[in-house]
Structure 1
Amino acid sequence: MKNALITGATKGMGRAIAAAFAHEGVNLAINSRNAAELASFKTELLQINPTIKVFTAVADGSNKEDLLFFADSAADELGPINIVVNNLGMYQFSRIMDDESDLFEKMVNTNLMPAYELYRFFGKSMVAAGEGHFFNICSVASLNPVVDAGMYSVTKAALLSLNNVMRLEMQDYGVKVTAVIPGSTLTSSWDGQKVNKDTMVLPEDIASAIINIYKMSKGANVDQIIIKPAGGQL
């Protein structure tokens, strides 16, 4: 049985991805700062598939010490981690000239640092095993900057660059690395705005893509996948 660690798994895309892996019989490690949310979601995942193990940790994924505690504890509890989904992220509607003084650090620590640290933490064990898969949830802003979300665009572009370096480092060792690049997706980032879900990508669409990519043959890798609304970006 495989083991997957997913950051930001109690909401939005991360939640849908965790549920999809549960359906596939994959053990899960998830974290959140909210203990009640974690306990509730663990119950839901075990209802989806009672045969899997679900490890939870109350930990802030944007805090390096918490993140590495979560990673180490997950490996101790479940065994070798075969799949890492770097989903944790934050969106801030702000032009760089108008950013609050601490936004740069928050954005880097949420959108970029976790993927870097988890790669360093799990990469060597995956190399030793000759298998594994990292999924990095980027954004169309990784490719086309959004001026009204300046630091979001910068950190997501950096995440895509990190993804590409990871893939090159891992390609000789049987470890796969995939950048998932969603367009307008119905998550909490849209809270407070009037939107039509039929014109958007749904979290379940992202989850379905990841599962299909994960299930490909050993010799195939999807370097990156762009999933945008059929009618164009909102």
Structure 2
Amino acid sequence: MTARLQGRTALVTGATSNIGRAIAVAFAAEGAHVVVVGRNPERGAEVIAEIEAAGGRADFVAADLDGSAAASTALAERATEVLGGRIDILVNNAGIYPPATTTTTDDATFDRVYAVNVKAPFFLTAAVAPAMAARGSGSIVNLGSWISRLGIPVGSLYSSTKGALETLTRAWAAEFGPSGVRVNAISPGVVHPALPEGTGPHPGDVMMKGTPADGPGTPEAIAHAAVYLASDEAAFVHGTVLDVDGGRVAVAVVAA
């Protein structure tokens, strides 16, 4: 533990699995008191147990971020209470990805994906950022995606939501930055936990063939970037989308 976030408080959405879980664990390891947000209390309890076993501090708050302002505001209020009156760091990580094409997406799916991926972080930021601005400090980290800038055949709906969140990152940096609130984003490549020995490759791994990394990343790689953006080391970083994607969007890919 290097205590880069010692004394800070953090709210991490979608924190019961994959990237969100890794960010919550990494923040706690750096000294932050973390509110782990998710829909499943059992999975939430597992994350809390992992953090506490390592000497960190965390609490689980159940929330279904359905895109309504009411749900996001209720979460902000509950997290603020649990964290002792303030939220120093907000990570907008929760998101859903339906494997649908444009022509197979119906109204309900479209509305649900935009509600979870765009409206929920929009209204959560609206509920959290003003108190940060009033204190003159705070950090918001959004999770984008490499496919918001590099199109693939299946993913038009999801990629458009992540493009919206990356645009909001820049807009919020302009809106809240002058009051001391830094807003940045991370754009992960294909990322997933290590697969059990003997299992086949993850379906998304083929998208990373031929990149400098030549394979998928781990949730911990994204968590390291989140710690940096949330910490004082990134004090001069505003409105940036940090690519943590193994070189997927920056380097010509030559698949073997």
Are 1:142 and 2:148 matched, yes or no?
yes
Task: Return the alpha-carbon distance in structure 2 between the equivalents of residues 187 and 70 of structure 1.
Answer: 27
For structure 1, the residue ranges without an aligned partner over 5 or more in a row are none
Task: Return the alpha-carbon distance in structure 1 between the equivalents of residues 100 and 74 of structure 2.
Answer: 32
Give the partner amino acid of 1:145.
Answer: G
For residue 64 of structure 2, what is the aligned residue in structure 1?
60
Task: Return the alpha-carbon distance in structure 2 between the equivalents of residues 60 and 182 of structure 1.
Answer: 24
Paired residues for 1:83-232 under 5 Å: 83-186=89-192, 194-195=201-202, 199-217=215-233, 219-221=235-237, 223-230=240-247
Using the TM superposition, give the Cα deviation of residue 111 of structure 1 relative to its aligned residue in structure 2, in angstroms.
Answer: 0.9
Name the stretch that deviates more: 193-202 or 60-69.
Answer: 193-202
The 1:193/1:96 distance shift into structure 2, 3 A limit, reads: farther
Q: Is the 8 A contact 1:25 1:49 kept in 2?
A: no
Are 1:71 and 2:76 matched, yes or no?
yes
User: What per-residue deviation string (whole Å, max 9, x for no partner) do you get for residues 134-189 of structure 1?
Assistant: 0000001222233311110111111111111101112211110011111111269x
User: What per-residue deviation string (whole Å, max 9, x for no partner) do you get for residues 55-91 of structure 1?
Assistant: 2222212353443322211101212101000000111
Count the aligned residue pairs.
Answer: 229
Task: Return the alpha-carbon distance in structure 2 between the equivalents of residues 10 and 171 of structure 1.
Answer: 29
Name the SS of the counterpart of 1:176 in structure 2: strand
Q: Identity of paired residues, percent? A: 28
Give the partner amino acid of 1:179.
Answer: A
Q: Is the 8 A contact 1:71 1:118 kept in 2?
A: yes
Larger Rg: 2
Q: Supply the RMSD in Å over aligned alpha carbons.
A: 2.3
Task: Return the alpha-carbon distance in structure 2 between the equivalents of residues 133 and 216 of structure 1.
Answer: 10
Task: Return the alpha-carbon distance in structure 2 between the equivalents of residues 23 and 169 of structure 1.
Answer: 31
Task: Return the alpha-carbon distance in structure 2 between the equivalents of residues 88 and 102 of structure 1.
Answer: 19
Name the SS of the counterpart of 2:217 in structure 1: coil
Match among 17, 21, 25 for residue 31 of structure 2: 25
Using the TM superposition, give the Cα deviation of residue 194 of structure 1 relative to its aligned residue in structure 2, in angstroms.
Answer: 2.3
The 1:18/1:219 distance shift into structure 2, 3 A limit, reads: closer
The 1:105/1:233 distance shift into structure 2, 3 A limit, reads: farther
User: What per-residue deviation string (whole Å, max 9, x for no partner) do you get for residues 101-127 of structure 1?
Assistant: 311111111111121011110111011
**TM-score (norm. length: structure 2):** 0.82
**TM-score (norm. length: structure 1):** 0.89
For structure 2, the residue ranges without an aligned partner over 5 or more in a row are 1-6, 209-213
Name the SS of the counterpart of 1:92 in structure 2: coil
Using the TM superposition, give the Cα deviation of residue 230 of structure 1 relative to its aligned residue in structure 2, in angstroms.
Answer: 4.9
Give the partner amino acid of 2:201.
Answer: K
Name the SS of the counterpart of 1:112 in structure 2: helix
Give the partner amino acid of 2:223.
Answer: A
Using the TM superposition, give the Cα deviation of residue 24 of structure 1 relative to its aligned residue in structure 2, in angstroms.
Answer: 0.6
Using the TM superposition, give the Cα deviation of residue 229 of structure 1 relative to its aligned residue in structure 2, in angstroms.
Answer: 2.5
